[in-house]
Structure 1
Amino acid sequence: MGDGALAAYGGRRPAFERPRHDRASHQRRRARRLAVFSGNRELLRERDLVVWAADGPAGSRWAAVFNLSSDARREPFDTRSLGLGSSVVDVVDVWSGSTLSASAVHEQSDAARGVAPGSTVLHLGLPPHGCVLLRSVD
Structure 2
Amino acid sequence: MACRITELVLDCADPERLAAFWSEVLGYVELNREDDGSIEIGPPGAYADSESGSGSPLPTLFLSRSSDPRAGKLPLHIDVNATDRDQDAELERLLALGARPADVGQTGKESWRVLADPEGNEFCLLRRRVEPVQPVSR
Structure 1-normalised TM-score?
A: 0.24
User: Which structure has the bigger radius of gyration?
Assistant: 1
Q: Which has the higher contact order (CA 8 A, sep 6+)?
A: 2
Report the structure, 1 or 2, having the larger helix content: 1
